[in-house]
Copies of this chain bind each other. A is one copy, B any other.
Amino acid sequence: MMDLAQQLAATQALIDDRISSFLPEPAGPAARLLAAMRHSIHGGKRVRGFITIKAAEMFGLATVTVLPAAIAMEFMHAASLIHDDMPCIDASPMRRGQASCHTEFDEHTALLAGDALIIRAFELLASLRTSGLNAEAVLRVIGEFAEATGAMGLIGGEAADIEAENEEPEAGLLNFIHTNKTAKLIVAAGRSGAILAGVEQTALRTLTEYAHHLGLLFQITDDILDATASEAELGKPVGADKALQKMTYPALLGVEGSRQRAQEVAGMAIAAAEALPAYNDLWIELVNLLLQRDK
């Protein structure tokens, strides 16, 4: 079996190779919008898509079948980044080593490209019904995906994140922001793959716990990198959190305290990974990779 780095690279290559085929060709009166959508799905680590694919595979569902769901996770993630980068939120000129969407195109195109990618994510999930998958399972995935990404999930976390700028860091609120802004989509990525594969309840609960901690770890290490890495390493401006007075773990606990917190959360993720019915080493290695990541 390939090691984790090889599996991640293989999945990333697969997604990069196929992702454009899930969008219409840029032509016709909306060509600029379609080009902006393509621009913004380039790059990225594809961690969410990887989790969907591996969660499906561990319960017996083939990559080719679950691929539209993995792409849906990536589309939603890309949409959230487009809107996040806009002048009225983070005003970020760069993303994934290239110009952010509104910088490359313009604000109205970026606004609409984000909307269209959100909608396309749902369209891809609905399309799973043509793959012989159980219709009830597909509907459950759509409902959970919406819940995880809407006002009580990803978008609510974004909103709380912005409202918290310039506020005194506070652990409860910080946990709310990280859970909603980052962890819930990662949980949805894992659950979607597993539910489509027909997972049973106990394993699904363990996977949920694993993905929740992995998501928190992802955001803590993201915050640490924003405070410590270089722009060349990240492909986006660094130090943005501090400049915007974002509520982050480094702001609450300092960089060293955040690294310690990351270790604790990683420990909880590993404990859940050890309780999973399969792929234990893969999920544990993924935790360690995030813990050591430098981009």
Contacts and interface: CB of A to CB of B under 8 A. Distances in A.
Interface in A226-259: none
A129 interface: yes
Q: Sort chain A's interface into a size bin.
A: 35 or more
Interface stretch (A9-17, A148-156, A211-219, A281-289): A148-156
A114 to B, nearest CB: 7
A176 B142 CA distance: 30
Contacts of A109: 159
28 contacts: A24-B151, A29-B163, A30-B151, A30-B152, A30-B160, A30-B180, A33-B155, A33-B156, A33-B159, A83-B115, A86-B111, A88-B106, A88-B107, A108-B159, A109-B159, A114-B115, A115-B115, A116-B150, A116-B155, A119-B146, A119-B151, A119-B155, A120-B150, A122-B122, A125-B142, A126-B146, A135-B138, A142-B142
Interface of A: 23-24, 28-30, 32-34, 37, 79, 83, 86, 88-89, 106-109, 111-112, 114-116, 118-120, 122-123, 125-127, 129, 135-136, 138-140, 142-143, 146-147, 149-152, 155-160, 162-164, 173, 176-177, 180
